[in-house]
Amino acid sequence: MRRLLFLAVPLSALALTATATSGRSVAVASCAKGDLKTVTDGKLTVGTDNPAFPPWFGGTPPKGSKWKVSDPTSGKGFESAVAFAVAKQLGFGPKDVAWTYVPFSRAYAPGPKSFDFDINEISYSPDRAQAVDFSESYYDVSPALVALKGTPIANATTFADLKGYKLGAQIGTTSYSYIVNNIQPDQQPAVFDRSVDVIRALSNGQIDGYLTDAPTAYVNVLIGQVKNGVVVGQFPAIGDQEYFGLVFAKGNPLVGCVNQAIEALKSDGTLDALEAEWLKDVTFPEITQ
């Protein structure tokens, strides 16, 4: 992660021009909470998908909650904790943060948004940045391969070893792009609407393996979502480093203040500490090019 030196000055006192990762300059007149234009006055509305899976989200949804599997409002799990940490930098307390359900692909679709920012393991790409704005990286990503124990693909150590296999990924993810652009298997990769559909396809023998980010691969295997599953390895970054960014409606001036918040969290070690707490044991042998 890139680190910048920050002076001990609260965000509310800063007035400067920040640059969004999308490449568009964002003028920041003031990052004082009262000057921020949010979907709901005095509130910070954060979007994410539902179900919200660990290790990105944690906590047990209370009875009657709309949230499934995990509870984004709990502050537990890496992305929930990051969202609340960013909110704190902007002057919003936990009770000032509202969460809303946004399907993965809708988060980066063109048009107005029901959220101030969305956090949902969404990787920056130039194509997506045509429709929405992205923050700076809050997590640098390594894709990984999941397969079933004892199958031939589980012994793969190079891209060439994967050429003859049927691979899969969730639609709209950079995992699919990585398969097509970098691994380039002989068979057309399969795409699925939801992550649970990808897992089901592997279990049913429709695909030999699938790509996802390394922490999610680890959890898929650890908690038994993939029966008899194994993380075969992780892949090297090719070209620009893939990373997760917060997603905003195109032209939202909040991007500049959020970028300042993220850099402050990098500088003071908060992001590293949250990674260490929530994204443990997610480094695997590299599958080489």
Domain check: are 172 and 248 in the same one? no
Structure confidence at residue 29 as a pLDDT band (50, 70, 90): low
Structure confidence at residue 63 as a pLDDT band (50, 70, 90): very high
Domain check: are 250 and 112 in the same one? yes
Domain check: are 217 and 229 in the same one? yes
| 166 assigned to some structural domain | yes
CA dihedral of residues 283, 284, 285, 289 (deg, nearest 10): -90
Check: pTM over 0.75? Answer yes or no: no
Q: Where are the beta strands (DSSP E) in the chain?
A: 16-19, 25-28, 44-48, 97-101, 117-118, 132-140, 143-148, 167-170, 190-192, 209-213, 229-234, 243-249
The greatest distance separating any two alpha carbons of the chain, rounded to the nearest whole angstrom, comes to 59
Domain check: are 246 and 113 in the same one? yes
Is the dihedral angle over the CA atoms 90, 94, 98, 103 positive or is it negative?
positive
Domain check: are 120 and 147 in the same one? no
Between CA 265 and CA 221 the distance in angstroms is 30
Domain check: are 18 and 126 in the same one? yes
Domain check: are 176 and 251 in the same one? no
How many domains does the chain contain in total? 2
pLDDT reported for residue 4: 31
For the chain, the straight-line distance linking the first and the last C-alpha, in angstroms and rounded, comes to: 23
| 264 assigned to some structural domain | yes
| 56 assigned to some structural domain | yes
Domain check: are 196 and 64 in the same one? no
Domain check: are 176 and 273 in the same one? no
pLDDT reported for residue 95: 97
Q: Are 104 and 33 in contact (CB under 8 A)?
A: no
CB atoms within 10 A of CB 209: 22
Give per-residue pLDDT as tens, 102-115.
999 999 999 999 99
Which CATH number covers residue 216?
A: 3.40.190.10
Structure confidence at residue 87 as a pLDDT band (50, 70, 90): very high
Whether residue 32 is predicted with pLDDT greater than 90 in this model: the reply is yes
Is the dihedral angle over the CA atoms 72, 76, 82, 83 positive or is it negative?
positive
| 157 assigned to some structural domain | yes
| 5 assigned to some structural domain | no
Give per-residue pLDDT as tens, 42-57.
999 999 999 998 889 9
Whether residue 18 is predicted with pLDDT greater than 50 in this model: the reply is no
| 62 assigned to some structural domain | yes
Compute the residue count for the chain: 289
Element (DSSP H or E) covering residue 260 = helix 254-267
Structure confidence at residue 24 as a pLDDT band (50, 70, 90): very low
Domain holding 16, by residue range, is: 11-140+242-278
Domain check: are 247 and 181 in the same one? no
Give per-residue pLDDT as tens, 118-145.
999 998 989 999 999 999 999 998 899 9
Give per-residue pLDDT as tens, 216-258.
898 899 888 899 999 999 999 887 788 999 999 999 999 999 9
